[in-house]
Structure 1
């Protein structure tokens, strides 16, 4: 096996690169518009290469220019839907065929970010909703279904379920099981699991939410304030709000034009010191791996704005949690395997917390969450080893499935 070359800046001449180099640049604070311009110049030099259009699309979306990025993506996928991301370490030990969907950066599992510097080759096959399934695909060892759950992808997942029935290679995350991660479906699946708090979640039409806000609480009699509400298919906290009363819900609706919403009771999960702590855990066939921990005085925690980069004390606590993750995992040992069994997904990420009672509170289960070790080694030296455990476990599982185990 050859040695990995040092990380080099994106030049646009690399061929298809997927998300990883753009996410790495964003985390490092690079000028993403300048990077998108590098990708644009690469398209100008060779507009016939669809890989360059897809790289440009990803760069634009990473720079926050999603609408433009999606239009560029459509141009690239009109010409070609299969893209190869070679293994960083050669020779490649295993080739994974990834079924993906067109859409924003959050629509597919960014598996390349976890397996960036490995001997795993990735073949991305994009399934356009307006096109038939591909007549043939290149040879591969394992299939990984990366397509996320949303209203836009449900038909594609249903078509893919038929296509993959009797597939001659192992399939990770069967498409027929991916609807299980929808917020309301996951809530129903996990309601009676000992040691787990999974708030009930309802999908309501706008008219029903308006009725609830007007005082007609009989439209959802088991729901009480305070509650949280978000538009259907939203992620990353977009449109998420905590609501205290009818007037607050009416005010929320006045600025949220969507037709459908998820609505659930608010769970106060703050610790004794008044801080909220949220954990991201990867489950690989029910085995848990630590990904990150965020600490904030705000109940709506996002790692990038929780002060983790600015406050050494928070990073030290995250490092301690990662070092002692075995104890955390053992406290919730009865939950992990049940999550795997009930979701039916081999590869699954979880955003969760611990309630003051000690039970595990789950916010979301989703195979499309990003897992990476791209943060600064200086600020986050503790992350490399933990993410390496997850990366090596995924790689080993791929090799095992392919019959090429170490």
Structure 2
């Protein structure tokens, strides 16, 4: 078969989403002509979609090294490095692409995202402005052609956004990411053309208070169904959640207070800490995971923590010892998608501050077995009373999509640690392959909910 015939056949399979049939054809082409650019680009795309980022780089780098790269080669190299979390290399290749295509808005968006993720806040803000002026939307095509429907994702730089990558990748719908900035006049008709349904990603209240009203006003003007409407996000900071869920039957919800560093230091200096119940947890507002978050046992430790972090708002919460009878701590994560409550992971550790990625679970079989059993049948652990508590939480929060981190007391009460829409869901489960099916169910349910909403909206147009 000729190269042209192989290219044509590969293109047909690609359009049908049959990537497993595409790769062998591309390899045949490259066996005949190793630097065939179309085949190299398409093979790299297939490898990126299947998570083989280093292989994609290995396919494309020879083109760049030998001066055969055009802007598309640099863009795809940048994408592979970005997915592999090599931000510096990704920025470098995107800038090479920008040299060949000055003013490419999509490349500017990508650079700005990487600068933001790398902590270059001021540089990212300027790049975002440049990007929005040139191209307000960053569009990712569907895995099939034509797309089944179109989703507009509303994103605000530095505002604590719901991570969308796992839901966007290889989807059967087209995704357009809109960067929302204050003071920008957007083309509403253009946005409507890319939106059968709108998903608001702006989800961390502490980081997004200044932009949420702008996001809400823009969503209302677009006039399409909105997932996680900004109005529903407003009441999801840690202090508000503790008040909203207080008294939920079957739950232990530690009361969370917000203090400025000035107020906390004043209380400590005046020894006016009677309202603080030690030991307690203190966290810098706007952070997640273990960042700037500690358990303190007395006022001296609290004073040391606040002085170390400096000017900020802080969340202060009574510490709940949620240790199981065997001495281990267990933190469960569920994801709420519409009416569904789906397990995401169980993290087990001998320390109270648990993050699944930093536990020793990858080397301990019984922990993996317990997590696998939980993911296969969460309702053996969370029986009818605990299910009722989770449903009550879902009904109170009322978002289309959000997560909860929680534990169980020996008496069977649900200890609520965190409830919000910022929680990461990803498909990179190489260390825990048994998680893949449960995580895929979350993606499938999210896609199904988008599909129903989009087609209901389309039927009324």
Measured against the shorter chain, the TM-score band is 0.7 to 0.9
Asked whether 1:211 is paired with 2:266, we answer: yes
**Cα distance in structure 1, aligned partners of 2:389 and 2:257:** 23
Deviation at 1:25, TM superposition (A): 1.9
On the 8 A contact 1:22/1:62 being kept in 2, the answer is: no
Q: Which moved more, 1:233-242 or 1:148-157?
A: 148-157
Asked whether 1:355 is paired with 2:406, we answer: no
Asked whether 1:175 is paired with 2:175, we answer: no
Q: Unaligned regions of 5+ residues in structure 1, if any?
A: none
2:436 paired residue among 354, 361, 384: 384
Deviations 1:295-340 (A, max 9, x none): 2222112222112444444333322221122334544211233223
CA shift in 2, pair 1:200/1:23, >3 Å = farther
Deviation at 1:249, TM superposition (A): 1.0
**Cα distance in structure 2, aligned partners of 1:352 and 1:53:** 39
Q: Unaligned regions of 5+ residues in structure 2, if any?
A: 1-14, 20-45, 49-55, 61-70
Asked whether 1:13 is paired with 2:72, we answer: yes
**Cα distance in structure 2, aligned partners of 1:337 and 1:370:** 21
**Cα distance in structure 1, aligned partners of 2:47 and 2:317:** 44
Q: Which moved more, 1:260-269 or 1:221-230?
A: 221-230
In the comparison of the two structures, how many residue pairs are matched?
394
Asked whether 1:268 is paired with 2:321, we answer: yes
Higher relative contact order (CA 8 A, sep 6+): 1
On the 8 A contact 1:22/1:58 being kept in 2, the answer is: no
Q: Which moved more, 1:289-298 or 1:303-312?
A: 303-312
On the 8 A contact 2:333/2:406 being kept in 1, the answer is: yes
**Cα distance in structure 2, aligned partners of 1:111 and 1:4:** 23
Deviation at 1:71, TM superposition (A): 5.2
TM alignment of 1:59-208, pairs within 5 A: 59-60=114-115, 69=124, 72-103=127-158, 107-132=160-185, 134-136=187-189, 137-139=191-193, 140-165=195-220, 168-208=223-263
Aligned match of 2:98: 43
On the 8 A contact 2:338/2:449 being kept in 1, the answer is: no
**Cα distance in structure 1, aligned partners of 2:80 and 2:342:** 23
**Cα distance in structure 1, aligned partners of 2:74 and 2:205:** 29
Aligned match of 1:285: 338
Higher helix fraction: Structure 1 or Structure 2?
2
TM-score (norm 2): 0.77
Asked whether 1:324 is paired with 2:364, we answer: no
Larger Rg: 2
On the 8 A contact 1:340/1:346 being kept in 2, the answer is: no
Asked whether 1:346 is paired with 2:400, we answer: yes
On the 8 A contact 2:228/2:399 being kept in 1, the answer is: yes
Deviation at 1:35, TM superposition (A): 3.9
1:373 paired residue among 403, 408, 427: 427
**Cα distance in structure 2, aligned partners of 1:40 and 1:200:** 48
On the 8 A contact 1:109/1:367 being kept in 2, the answer is: yes
| Partner SS state of residue 445, structure 2 | helix
